[in-house]
Each structure stands twice: as structure tokens, then as C-alpha cells.
Structure 1
Amino acid sequence: MYDEEDEILLVSSAVVVIAAYHCMQRKHKRRSRRWWCSNLFKDRVSNQMLGVLKAQEISGQYKNFTRMSPTTFEDLLIKIGPKICKKETHLREPITIQDRLAVTLRFLATGDSYSSLQYLFRISKQAIGGIVTEVCSALIEVLKENIKLPKNPAEWMEVVKVFEDLWNLPHCVGAIDGKHVIIQSPMNSGSEFYNYKSQFSIVLFALVDGNYNFLFADVGCQGRISDGGVFNNSKLYDMMTKRTLGLPSPTELPGRQMKVPYFFAADNAFALGENILKPYSGDLEKGSCKRIFNYRLSRARRVVENAFGIASSVFRVLRKPILLEPEKVQLIVTAIIHLHNHLRWHSTNLYTPQELMDYEEGGVLTEGSWRKDENMTSLVPLRSIPRRSSAHFQKIRDELADYCVKEGAISWQKSYA
């Protein structure tokens, strides 16, 4: 026999069960869709645009659209195809790997919004967001061997030879610099990405060899970190301080007695150090050894400026603020760095024609066409901060400056220094 309290308990339990059941029903009930797929995306014909452009490759429209030749595009497709392909189902046909790579390259080439690209490729902006991230990750993975630091003195000496032969700067093992990549204000980030230009950014720090190739790149440092801290927090600085870079031992310059260490060419955003040389500051007398040294150092340091300029001229997503979260921006910028080296090695004349880069003939500098674009609203330079240097490091720089006007003098350098 149940008493009154038991009956109340049973009724209450039943009410709870029924309420939970109806709650679950409402949760699992799907909202009816207006369309399964809109006609814009349903009528998409795969690869139609690339086929039309490829038929008239000589016009240059294919290269302008994808930023590479059909051969290079197909080569990349073979490399990343297995990583980005999707299985077919009975619901709908997957977006092809050709379209996935093409929409990503077009985004990198123009920086257009996903909403704009969806009308060009007939792929929804939600799908494009996932595709760009996935393809950039695949590109980084298959092209990671394109960016490698030299591991021993013999490999570093190959870099040194290029700087000495092309840019007349001995003992230089690379040029370093950094840029602030402007992004939209990340949600709930406070001032973490707020830089000295009162913008939000992440930092691209890079080491470049004498042939405009990236040897090292560090992407993603928050814009609020001081520009000296960007380098100090990088893996390159850690290896340099721990002496695990494998740099050659200091040697004498030709005709000299003082041993000079091998160094990275830098600007005033960096501190003078044993393996980092930057220009002399102040208003220097024309023709003086210090001014000549500044001129020679700037010629070598110009390669890193050109590397950034070439990449941003071809992949114009870097020329405007990127309206994505920092993690995705980091992925996109890293993919561009890898593509830059890949195209430099496999499509040099097509990717970097001579007029695009700075070049000299008999000491006369002709600026590359990338410098003439005045619409740059991203890639802000690092801030130059005056720093005290030790007497020992200044002595090393003085030795190299004296060498540049004596044993290592160039016949035409005084006219331009």
C-alpha cells in the first residue's frame, strides 16, 4: 500500500521524466531549411575557370590568377592532394582539390574577403574559411624542407660567399629584419597585440640569404612585445646565445690581423652584438669610413627588405590588414614564406623578374617595382630604438669599417656613400 507521500513522490518523478523527454525532443528537432543548397553553389562547375585560363597561358592571366605557372600549380597539387582531398558521399560531391588550392592561392594573391571569393568560385564563405586553413597547413607541411638553417660552418660559408660576391660584404651570414603584420583586434585580447603604431599585429621576423631566400622565419609574436624582445624570444637568438648555430669561428679579414666574427646584417631596431652588426648612427661625413661601412651594410641588408617586398607584391594579402584571428594569420603568413622559397627555386624568372627587385649596375641602384606601391597598409617596420653598445662590439664594427675603405675598397663606392 502506498501512502500519500509516496504518491506525491511518484507523481513528481513522472513530471520530471516527461519534462526531460520533451526537452530532448526540442533539442534534437532540426529547424527546417529553406534550401538544401542554394543555386549559386549547386551549379558550380569544377575547374572551369582554371581550364579557360590555362588554354591561353601565353596571355599571362593564369599566372596573374594563381601567381604561378600551370606546371608549378600541378606540382603543388600532386604534393598536397592526398592531404586535402575529401571522400565522396551520397549527399553531394566534394569540392575538388584543384578548387581548394585555387581558392587558397587566390585569397593569398588578393586578400579578398571570403564573401567576395564565394561568388567567384561558387563555394560558400564558411567552406572557404576551412579550406584556406587546411590548404595552408598542407603547404607548410610539404614545403617545410624549403626553409632550413645551415647546420655547420661549411654550409654557412656558402651563404657568406654569396654576400661577399654579390654585395661586397665579407663575413656576413645573412640579413635579419622584422615586420608587424596588421590584423583585426582579436576578441578578449586586451593590449596583447597592440603595437607602437596603435594597431593590432603579429610580428614576422626573418633571416634571409644573399639570393632573397628565407633561411629562418618566426611568425606569431604579439605586437605589444618590444622589437628587441621579438628577436630575443626567437629560436635563432636562443641558438646564437647557446652557440649551437654552427657558425664558423672568427677569422682575419684579408690583409688584416684582428679576428672578426661572422655576423648578421641588421638595422637600428636591433642591438649591436658579437654576431649582429648594424649601421653607425648620426649624420656622418660623406666619404668617411663609417659612412662607407653603412653603405656596404645597407646593400647587404637590402636583400631582406626585398624578400618582404617581393612576397607582399605577389601575395597581396600581406598589403592590407588581415581580418582573421592571430592563429590563422600566423598560418597564412608562414605558408606564404614557404611558397616564396618554393617559387624562387622552381619559377625564378616568372616569380621574381629583374624589374621586381632592387638591382645595381656599376654602383647605380635601380629600385624594384615593389617599392612603388603606395597602398601598403600592413607590414609595418620594427621600431628603431637607440641602444648602448659595448666597446668590444664597436671595435669589431670599426675593424670592418676600416677594411671597407682600404683592403676591401670598391672603386665606385665613394661616389654613392
Structure 2
Amino acid sequence: MTHYSALTQRFSNWGTQNPGVGDQQARLALNPTAPLHCSSSCQLNTGEGKRRINPDSTADCGARPGEQRLSVRQAALQGGRVTEAEEKKEEEEEEEEEEEADGGGWTHSRKAELRVTLTLRPHTHTAGVMASDDTLRSLMFTLSYVLMKRRRDVTSADATRRREVQRRVAHRQYFHQRHKRMIMMMIAQTSRPITELPARPTRVWSNIESTDWWERVVMREFQPSDWLEKFRMTKETFFLLCGKLKPRLNRQDTRLRPALPLEKRVAVALWRLASNVEYRTISTLFGVGRSTVCKCVRDVCHAIVLLLRPLYLRTPSEQELEDAARLFATRWGFPHCVGAVGSLHVPIIAPSSNTDNYWNSRGWLSVVTQGAVNGLGQFWDVCAGFPGSTEHSAILQNSTLWARGCDGGFLLRQPPLDFMGHPLGFLMLGDAGYPLKSWLLKGYPESSGLTAGQRAFNRRLERARSVVDQAFLRLRARWQCLLKRNDCRMDVVPTMILACCVLHNVCELHGDAFAERWEEAVRHEESPQPADEVSPAADDPQAEEVRARYCQYFLQQEAQQRALTC
């Protein structure tokens, strides 16, 4: 007999012997699933102690306030199944109680105080709630995982479908373009001129721009003054330049279209360097695309620096230095001088990075170029591309001119010439932004305490050093891309400056005319050149002795001139 059957039989017997008891206890005995209402003599054995419960009360046995009422069977089921050993032990205890009750002759009052002993596991209700929570948590986790997997599958399917659509569209466009190119190639190959005159080949897959201005106007109708005004050089110098650049710029024709002529590529670049107009204006003028104009400017500048710089912008030889020293001595009365050095600020647009470094002392963006010129105003050393805030002395110390001057190099003459009773080699002239060296002289700072010899030295130095200022003036007037704000990228600007210096030497060496009206734009520029000044602490004490001997020499020269005039 199970635990449930024993309880049922016990309540049945007790109800038969006690007919006066209410029907609630009978219903409990006959229907174990009904709500449990224990009598006052009923106690629940839970392991924490026994507690007596009123059978007529509405409180549930072993239930918390506000919870649903549970039957004995339901409480046993929620708490978990008992083991077979526990059930057998309970049955034996119940049978002993029944035999004792039958043999002892129970009275009515004793039967009314029937104790119902329910042997349950400790904390039955708490364990049931925890089991229910674990089951619910596991169910929610499983449901969330299924939903997430479903969403991931749907997203993956959508992405796969989009990739497939894109692949099909790209595949279709590829075959469409390929078919179109094949048709146009067949048309171009099968087309023949109707007349015997040679027909101009048709450019396939490109826009056909008008080239009448270049082929008819420039090449046939341009006068020498037009060549000089538009390209800043004569027609002969232009074609000489094209011949020297041919190994680098020559292009081969293809079956689809002919290559852009070499002369036209050079003309596009020179037009840009001379006028600094926009790419779209040059594009319309020459009948080429804007990207073609940009590429022509870049390629021609690189070719000029690579091929013509060793020929037209190089370190002078010893004979050339002697000629330059004689020119400075006869024209400006400054012996042993072979050149002058100066700096030029070229305006630019704001670069993409390190913009603060390109603001100069005048408050506008620029890159600095250092140039050394001879007595004829031709450059023989150029160092370009430094930010506008860089000091002139710092540029000099990072140039090859500094290394050659400090080590002697080309400025050291063997044997040195005698000057005022002391040996002296060649030297150069600079402004206040450069340090005073034995091979690089600059003027005395202007003040009221200067001696007559120092003032004479300053006058002669300014006259001789004006050759570099004049060279920079002619350079910017001839190639106005250095005068106006340059909108090229920063990696192209230094190459463009070097190319302009080389072209300046080409024009000066071949005697191309220079129009004075070109200087008007330079003289009325809105952005004056910044001035720089270095600290006297950077001056060389030995150079001061050389400058003092020049002061004595210039005083003697002025005294002799006054004596001759008198």
C-alpha cells in the first residue's frame, strides 16, 4: 500500500466511525486533488517542527500567504518524488498506527485529534520554486538562441542574395562594355576615307576635342611676339627644349588612338607655368581633358629637372668661378665675389597636413626657395620645398652650398689670391637672414654708430647683392605660377619651382627677350616678401676680420675716385 492509499483508507475509516464530522474531511480523503484544509489536531511534519492547523480555517497547510492552495498529493508532487525506501518506511509506520488505533479502542475525541503526518523533503516548496525558475530560464535561453539563429540566417541569406545581384549586374555591364568596344573597334578598322586625302584617325572610346587652335593658330599663325608672350620663349628655344625632352616624354601611338604630340605636351605645361591659369581653361584651349593637362604639367616638370638640370643648373667649374669673380669686380667693384644667395617665398594653398608650419612672418602660406646666382643672374644652386616658417639660416645649413662652403670645396682657390696683404679665396654675399662666415659676407646692421668704412661696405654689398633680387624678380615675372597662389599638390610644388629655375636659365642663356611689362605684376603684388634676420651670436669671429679688410679696401677705392675727379 502506497503512502497515498494509506492516507485514503485511514480517512475513510475515520469518516465512517465519526459521522458527525464535516464533509470537508471526507472530501479530502476521497479526493486527494482537492484543496487541503487540515483540522486543529492536524499537524504537518516538515523537519523544522510540527505546527497545528485548524481544519475549518482558510489557510493552506504549508503554503505562504497569497499563494494557491495545494492538496497533499500536489504538495508531494511539487516537492519531488520520495524514494522507494522512504515510501516503504512510511507505509509500515502507518500500518502500525492503524493496528494500534484498532486495538486500543479509539474514542471519538481521540479520533477527532487525528494527526496527519506528511513526510516531505526539507524546504519542499522552495525547491519547487527554484526548479520552476530553472526550467523557465532554460526555456527562455533556448527560445532566445533560436530567435538569434533565425535572425542570423535571414541576414546571411539577404547578404548572399545582394552579392549575387551585384555580381550579375557587374557581369552584365562587363559584357555590355566589351561588346560595345568590339563594335567600335570593328567600325574604326573597317572605315576607309572616301577621297584620296588622308583622313584624320578617329579616337575610339574618348571624346573628340577641338584642336584647331593648336594645329592652325599656334603652329601656323603665331608670330614671334606671340610665342614670347604666351610661352615666355622664342619658337626656336621651344623646339630646342622639345628635342632635349624627347627621350623622356615621347609616347607611342596605339590602335585605339594616337598619342598626344610631344610639342603639344610641352606647350600645355609651359602655358600653365607662364600664366598659372586653371586647368579647365587650358583644357578648352588645347582640346584635351583636364586630367591630361595635370599629367602634362607633372611629366614635363619632372623631365626638365631630370634631363636639363645637369646641363643648365649645376655647380660652376673653376674657370667659371674666375669669370664670375672678374664680373663682380668690374661691374660692382666687389673683388673675390663669385655669387649672391637669397630666398624666395612662393604662395601656396593650405596643405592637408602641418598647415601651421607654412605660415611665414608676413601672415600668408608659402614654401621657401633658396637660390645662388652668378653675376649674370643665372641660378647655379637651388634648394626648394621648405615650409614658410623655416629660417633662412636653417635652409642654408641643410643645403649643399653650406657643405661646400664650410669644407672649402669649390670656393677654395689654389693658390689663394692676395687681398690687402692676406690670402683670400672666393666668397659669396647674403642678406641679414644668413650668418656671417669667412666665405659668406653680409652687411652691418644699420645704426647711427657706423663708421665711414662700414657704410661704404654696406653700399657696395647692396649693389653687388642686388643681382639675386633681380634674378628672383625676373623668375617670377616670366613664370607667374611662382607669383600667384599655386594650387598644385605639395609633392609637385618643389619640382615645379626647380623646373622654373631651369627654364629661367635656358631663356637667359639663349638670349630670349624679357618684357618689362611682365615686372609690373610682380611690383604690385599683394603679398610682399618676408624679411628674416639672424642673431649676431651665429657670426664667425674670423669673418669679421675679412669684413674689416673690405671696409678698408672700399675706403681706399672711394678716396682714389675722389682724387681722380678732383
Structure 2 counterpart SS, 1:178? strand
> What SS does structure 2 have at the residue aligned with 1:267?
coil
Question: For 1:376-395, what per-residue CA distance to the aligned partner results, in whole angstroms no more than 9, with x for missing partners?
Answer: 24672442344233443222
Q: Which residue of 2 aligns with 1:51?
A: 219
Q: Distance in 2 between matches of 1:29 and 1:81?
A: 43
Equivalent residue in structure 2 for 1:149, among 296, 315, 324: 315
Q: Which residue of 2 aligns with 1:411?
A: 561
Question: How far apart are the structure 2 equivalents of 1:199 and 1:96?
Answer: 39
**Bigger CA radius of gyration:** 2
> 1:409 and 1:49, CA in 2 relative to 1: closer, same or farther beyond 3 A?
farther
Are residues 1:383 and 2:551 paired?
no
1:217 counterpart SS class: strand
Question: Residues 217 and 414 of structure 1: is their aligned pair in 2 closer, same or farther, counting only changes over 3 Å?
Answer: farther
So what's the TM-score if we normalise by structure 1? 0.81
Letter in 2 for 1:225: T
Greater Cα offset, 332-341 or 139-148: 139-148
Change (3 A) 1:103 1:176: same
Q: Superposition RMSD on alpha carbons, in Å? A: 3.4
SS of corresponding position for 2:547: helix
In the alignment, is residue 296 of structure 1 matched against residue 460 of structure 2?
A: yes
The answer to whether the 8 Å contact 1:179/1:380 transfers is yes
The secondary structure found in structure 1 opposite 2:409 is coil
Gaps of 5+ in 2: 1-149, 178-203
Match of 2:361 in 1: 196
Instruction: State the shift of 1:204 in Å.
Output: 0.9
Equivalent residue for 1:251, pick from 417, 433, 443:
417
Distance verdict in 2 for CA 1:173–1:273, change over 3 Å: same
8 Å contact kept, 2:443–2:458: yes
Please point out which of 547, 550, 553 is paired with 1:397: 547
Against the structure 1 CA distance between its residues 412 and 109, is the aligned structure 2 distance closer, same or farther, given a 3 Å change threshold?
farther
Q: 2: distance between equivalents of 1:108 and 1:248? A: 39
Partner of 1:161: 326
CA separation of 1:23/1:288 partners in 2, compared to 1, >3 Å: closer, same or farther? same
- Segments of 5+ residues of structure 1 without an aligned counterpart are 1-7, 357-367
SS at match of 1:191: helix
With over 3 angstroms needed to count, the CA separation of the structure-2 counterparts of 1:173 and 1:377, relative to structure 1, is same
2:500 alignment partner in structure 1: 336
Q: Residue type matched to 1:376 in 2?
A: E
Residue 408 (structure 1) shift? 7.3
Distance 1:332 1:392 in 2: 39
Output the CA distance in 2 between the equivalents of 1:345 and 1:275.
27
AA aligned to 1:49 is V
Rounded to whole Å, the distance in 1 between the matches of 2:563 and 2:438 is: 26
1:319–1:375: 8 Å Cα contact kept in structure 2? Answer: no
Report SS of the residue matched to 1:78: helix
CA gap 1:238/1:118 in 2 versus in 1, 3 angstroms: same
**Identity over aligned pairs, percent:** 23
- CA distances 1:155-183 after superposition (whole Å, capped 9, x unpaired): 42222112112221001121000111111
Q: TM-score, normalised by structure 2?
A: 0.61
1:222: how far off? 1.9
Query: Where does residue 5 of structure 1 map in the other structure?
Result: none
TM alignment of 1:320-335, pairs within 5 A: 320-335=484-499
Partner secondary structure for residue 177 of structure 1: strand
SS at structure 1 position matched to 2:436: coil
More relative contact order, 1 or 2 (CA 8 Å, 6+ apart) = 1
Q: CA, structure 1 residues 24+334, in 2 after alignment: closer, same or farther (shift >3 Å)?
A: farther
Q: Deviations over 1:49-94 (max 9, x none)?
A: 312443x33xx12221111111111111111133223322233333
Once residues 136 and 273 of structure 1 are traced to their aligned partners in structure 2, the CA distance between those partners, rounded to angstroms, is 35
Structure 1 equivalent of residue 105 of structure 2: none
Higher helix proportion (structure 1 or 2): 2
1:15-414 correspondence to structure 2 within 5 Å: 20-24=163-167, 37-38=206-207, 42-45=209-212, 46-54=214-222, 56-57=223-224, 60-144=225-309, 145-151=311-317, 153-248=318-413, 250-253=416-419, 256-283=420-447, 288-346=452-510, 348=511, 350-352=512-514, 356=516, 370=519, 373-377=522-526, 380-388=529-537, 389-407=539-557, 411=561
Greater Cα shift, 178-187 or 281-290: 281-290
Shift of 1:370: 2.9
